Amino acid sequence: MTRHVRRSVVAFVAVIGLAGCWLQPGFDSERGGFNPSDGAITTANVTGLHQHWAVPIGGSVYDPAVFAGGVYAAAGGFSGGGAPSTVRLLNASDGATKWSSVLENVSGSPLTPGPPTLLGNALYVPLFSYTPLASDSIRVFDATNGSSRSPIAQRTNVVIAHDTRLVGSQGECTDTFECMASLWVYNTVGTGSWEAFRVFSSLNGRFTGPTSAAVGPNRMVIGRERSGTGGGTNLQSWSLDKPTNCTSTSSGVNCPAQWSVAVPDLVAGHPLLSADNATVYAASATTLLALDAGTGTQRWSATLGASASAAPALANGWLYVPTSNGDLQVFAANGCGHATCSPVWTAHTTSSIAQPPAVTSGGIVYTASADGVVRAYPAAGCGHPTCTALWSAATGSTITGGPVAALGQLYIGTSDGRLIAYGP
């Protein structure tokens, strides 16, 4: 899903596709959707999952950030009927609120928060708007008590944390459809912050802005609309440190990508990087691509049974690709020894898988479909070409956040304002 709303300056923002974060080893800045430290729910006990609690927190609830101290959740904004946007810390055991802070309290202002991200003792929540009533920025809070700190004047709907840095991207168009995309790095400690701009025109009215980034030790990868009549998209790799060959333009600083590869259509959700920073994976329309992260050279590809509907997930040598016809197609992450590969196994859900899958070290992969149903499958497959769900639950609403699996529970955010926790 990509939102298109016009104002005097039109902001086009990519879909929120963060699979969640946790205070356990392996914070997932590579965007693989894998929690290596959550083995409490397994194929042996997943059938006993039941709802532990469901807390109404207002507006649509986006991907929560789950840590040892509790669950951070943001809700409200444009899709919340103009309700004030808030962020809060909840007890993981019962959903009770530890603290709550208002992100923006402008009556009727369509402001939408993104998923929260923790770095050090600071909680970062992007807040972006579709009207001139308030400025886009990243709100910053003390993670322990929710007290407000000075905001960061950057526009993004997903902020990724890596070491001491935050990474974001955004796109906007003027009424004349001169469009600008930017990618930025903000260092929370010392120097090293930078931003790159690209200005486009003659895009025939189609511009969706860059995706959020997958971030590794020395690079960040995004999907981005490319310029020129007919549009199209590129998959691009950028240095995490500011390039040395940037140039100044009337719009700001223009920095070149390390490499740029044309892909068939918009990148679903966002790209992802392998844990060793060697391979980039991205799904574009009905094409799945695996590229060398250093050069952009294609290693292998696959044709999907339907268009990818969200970002894939990567764990333990498997690549899980959600599609618009409700299939989860699973591939060997290292390919099949040929240029074109087929799925090793497939799971059939009943409707488009609208959120990125989540995988745990307990051997479970979770999906969230447009029909509001969350399902669990054996992450290693079932020994057959088609696998059936080990467990499922109907939320009764559209799923807007998660699935996020952490600390022995599964968390789901819904469009009717609830954060739901399932556990054994």
Q: What confidence score (pLDDT) does residue 80 get?
A: 47
Q: State residue 4's pLDDT score.
A: 28
Classified by CATH at the fold level, domain 3-423 comes out as: Methylamine Dehydrogenase; Chain H (2.130.10)
Token look-up 């068939």 returns: 264
Check residue 11 and give its pLDDT: 31
Whole-model pTM: value is 0.90
Tokens of 182: 């930017």
Amino acid at 404: V
- Provide the residue-wise pLDDT of the chain in tens; the chain has 424 residues: 333 222 222 333 333 333 344 443 334 799 999 998 888 999 999 999 999 999 998 888 989 999 888 999 998 865 445 567 889 999 999 999 999 998 876 655 567 888 999 998 999 999 876 544 456 789 999 999 999 999 998 888 899 999 999 999 987 665 555 667 789 999 999 899 999 877 665 445 555 678 999 999 999 999 986 554 445 678 999 999 998 989 887 767 888 899 999 999 889 999 999 999 999 999 999 999 999 999 999 999 999 999 999 999 999 999 999 999 999 999 999 999 999 999 999 999 989 999 999 999 999 999 999 999 999 999 999 999 999 999 999 999 999 999 999 989 999 999 999 999 999 8
Name residues whose C-beta falls within 8 Å of residue 10's C-beta, 6 or more positions apart in sequence. Answer: 4, 172, 173, 174, 175
The per-residue pLDDT for 155 is: 84
Q: Which residue has the tokens 């486009």?
A: 200
Kindly compute the dihedral angle of the four CA atoms of residues 124, 413, 312, 232, in this order, to the nearest 10 degrees. -70
Residue 253: predicted pLDDT:
83
Q: What is the pLDDT of residue 73?
A: 94
Q: What pLDDT score was predicted for residue 136?
A: 78
Buried b / exposed e across 118-137, counting CB within 10 Å, b at 16+? bbeeebbbbbbbbeeebebb
CA atoms within 13 A on the CB side of 339: 2
Encode pLDDT of 196-210 as tens digits: 877 665 445 555 678
**In the chain, what are the domain boundaries?**
3-423
**The pLDDT of residue 176:** 56
Do residues 336 and 300 lie in contact, with contact meaning Cβ atoms separated by under 8 Å?
A: yes
